[in-house]
Structure 1
Amino acid sequence: MHRDEAGWQKAADLMVRRQIEARGIADPRVCAAMRSVPRHVFVPEAVAGAAYEDRPLSIGYGQTISQPYMVARVTELLCLPEGGNVLEVGAGSGYQTAVLAAMGMRVIGLERIEALALVARKRLDSLGLAGEIRTADGRFGWAPGAPYDGIVVSAAAEEVEPAWMEQLSGTGVLVVPLAGPFFGERLLVRRKSGNLHEDEWYDFCRYVPLLEGVEPEDPEASASKAPEDPK
């Protein structure tokens, strides 16, 4: 489903109008990027028919692709100009990385599960997007690409990791779903100003948890666990 150009573009346009703009996302750059990136490419074939629905979908390995609204909301909260240097922690399918790249960001996505990272790289390459995917433990950020104008965490964290703040520029912005003394998680936007920062809380949400370590690809398990290669 949605493989033909007109079909998926119509579905993406409806997704943006009904799920994103209708819920208050007003940044035209965000909406344009969400229209331009084919979401069905970032999910396994078995769930491609639901790719433009406003819900998370399984991508294998106990991970999900976030619902479109949350991707748009996080991108809007990041609020960076074209050319901004961005790190994404927990790249998963590569969809959030792709949306940021489509907005002209210089973006590095970190994914701890090597099999997911490999497929995400292929997806970005197949679409001609310049986002970069690295296999790494996102809790430690990615120092070679720092400083970052923005860091997006696409998994629920229990705390703001020191490495993220260290790798942000002096005026950088961190957007992270943070677990706290409330049900689920809530989006925290932390704006850095030199050695200080200012916090603002936004939407309640639910993400898969941020996990430690790196999970290398297991050739014997990949056939049954890994998501399908993009076509």
Structure 2
Amino acid sequence: MIELEDTYKHKGLRKQLVSEIQQKGITDQAVLKAISSIPRHFFFDKIFDSHAYEDKAFPIDSGQTISQPYTVAFQSQLLNVKPGDKILEIGTGSGYQACVLVEMGAKVYTIEYQKALYQKAIRFLPKLGYQPHMYSGDGSRGMARFAPYDGIIVTAGAPTVPEELIQQLKIGGRLVIPVGNNDIQSMVLIEKTDENKIKKKQFDNFSFVPLRGAKGWTD
């Protein structure tokens, strides 16, 4: 059993991290509260504990990363999550983003392409008290069997916006997806305003690992 200890020092570092991402423009109180509540150091090997509350991405297994806290907060804020919303996350990774969404009151479905990461997350997240619906497979086409969703969040860089993801949104739903090349992507927000109508906005550039699967980048 992993020993999970959340000390006063950890809580203090988390408070500083929340203040830092606020200064960078995160205003959604539910997002800030979630970041403040979740011990991010639990997602790190103990020897890397000191890196957990720095506002930067960090390598995890299978050539993936745990996203920068600001990036997690920025995507979560764009989603505009309300308690009870059904959210699809494409790219479980460490599971940290899924925990943020659960903490915000969402009903979370999350799918991971890398089998090893899925197996780790499905064992680990319940130990923290988080139980999103976790699946293994190609999420680049979404997950139609549980659609429609109030929101879809993609945590890997896509070459284009998969049409299937827009189709799986409820009217009024939001898709947040980084789109670009393998090095840098623009954060894209798509709002589905009618069955065949969308509104699209682009935001700052970010750098994500590549989205894998039929609608992502090939290996």
TM-score, normalization: structure 1?
0.86
Q: Greater CA deviation, 142-151 or 98-107?
A: 142-151
- Per the TM alignment, residue 171 of structure 1 is displaced from its structure 2 partner at its CA by 1.5
Q: Which residue of 2 aligns with 1:224?
A: none
Contact 2:6 2:39 in 1 (8 A): no
Q: Which residue of 1 aligns with 2:156?
A: 155
Q: Which residue of 1 aligns with 2:187?
A: 187
Q: Which residue of 2 aligns with 1:93?
A: 94
Q: Which residue of 2 aligns with 1:199?
A: 200
Give CA deviations for 1:96-126 in whole Å, capped at 9, x if unaligned. 0000000110011110111111211223201
**Corresponding letter in the other structure for 1:157:** A
Q: Distance in 2 between matches of 1:14 and 1:133?
A: 31
**Corresponding letter in the other structure for 1:40:** H
State the secondary structure of the residue aligned to 1:55. coil
Contact 1:55 1:67 in 2 (8 A): yes
Q: Which residue of 1 aligns with 2:58?
A: 57
- Per the TM alignment, residue 135 of structure 1 is displaced from its structure 2 partner at its CA by 0.5
Q: Distance in 2 between matches of 1:44 and 1:144?
A: 35
- Per the TM alignment, residue 27 of structure 1 is displaced from its structure 2 partner at its CA by 1.0
Specify which structure has the bigger relative contact order, considering alpha-carbon pairs within 8 angstroms and separated by 6 or more residues: 1
Q: Which residue of 2 aligns with 1:122?
A: 123
Q: Distance in 1 between matches of 2:65 and 2:97?
A: 12
Q: Which residue of 1 aligns with 2:13?
A: 11
Q: Distance in 2 between matches of 1:171 and 1:36?
A: 29
Q: Which residue of 2 aligns with 1:82?
A: 83
Percent identity of equivalent pairs: 37
Q: Distance in 1 between matches of 2:104 and 2:93?
A: 19
Q: Distance in 1 between matches of 2:179 and 2:42?
A: 28
Q: Which runs of 4+ in 1 moved over 6 A?
A: none
Contact 1:43 1:65 in 2 (8 A): no
State the secondary structure of the residue aligned to 2:100. helix
Q: Distance in 1 between matches of 2:6 and 2:29?
A: 25
Contact 2:15 2:36 in 1 (8 A): yes
How big is the alpha-carbon RMSD for the aligned residues of Structure 1 and Structure 2?
1.7
Q: Distance in 1 between matches of 2:37 and 2:58?
A: 20
1:166 partnered with 2:164: no
Q: Greater CA deviation, 129-138 or 55-64?
A: 129-138
Distance change in 2, residues 1:141/1:156 (3 Å): same
Contact 2:32 2:73 in 1 (8 A): yes
Contact 2:178 2:186 in 1 (8 A): yes
- Per the TM alignment, residue 4 of structure 1 is displaced from its structure 2 partner at its CA by 3.5
TM-score, normalization: structure 2?
0.91
Q: Which residue of 1 aligns with 2:217?
A: none
Uncovered stretches (5+) of structure 1, i.e. residues with no partner: 214-231
Uncovered stretches (5+) of structure 2, i.e. residues with no partner: 215-219
Contact 1:63 1:92 in 2 (8 A): yes
State the secondary structure of the residue aligned to 2:60. strand
State the secondary structure of the residue aligned to 2:213. coil
- Per the TM alignment, residue 212 of structure 1 is displaced from its structure 2 partner at its CA by 1.6
